[in-house]
Amino acid sequence: MGYKNRENKKQKFNQHKVIMIGDSFLRGIREIVELSISNKFGIYSLLEPGCKLNTLLQSANGASGSLTHKDLIFICGGANDFNSDTEEPTIDHIQEFIKSNKHTNIILANVPLRYGLSYHSQVNKRIRSYNKKLLEIIKDHKQVAQIKIDIDRKYHM
């Protein structure tokens, strides 16, 4: 588990916050975001490789209390919930997270398919079903958006 932050000391009181919480798919994304946005934003990230989505949402709930409508929380997780011997994350947890965080902006990442498995495997069917439900929920909330993580099959030889 890792935690990093960047604060611009001169604009500490006017600063917007970007909180990024995720599993190993978040690795490397923080640096790209940091290079892409201005110093008016403080970036905080929590990386928990191998973590289940519900645990990430609990961490996000703990971090979101001080956020406002000018801030953003990004959740990147769920892939570890789709092993063949475990239950998938429930949409109910996502819905509760959104309801309890209407005071801030939320970006949710989809769960990428497992390219090591057949497109028609049970795991990939469950992932597609989950991502479809996630999109339906997001449509109902104006402060919530989705980033599609699509790991191209060519990277999985």
Answer yes or no: are the C-beta atoms of 127 and 111 closer than 8 Å. yes
Domains: count for the chain: 1
Range of the domain at 54: 2-155
Q: What is the pTM of this model?
A: 0.82
pLDDT score of 10 more than 70 = no
Q: What mean pLDDT comes out for the span 40-65?
A: 90
Q: Which residues contact 139 (CB under 8 A, 6 or more apart)?
A: none
Gyration radius from the chain CA atoms: 16
Locus of tokens 């902006």 = 105
Q: What mean pLDDT comes out for the span 102-127?
A: 91
CA 93 to chain centre: 13
What CATH number should be reported for the domain holding residue 94? Answer: 3.40.50.1110
User: How many C-beta atoms surround the C-beta of residue 136 within 10 A?
Assistant: 10
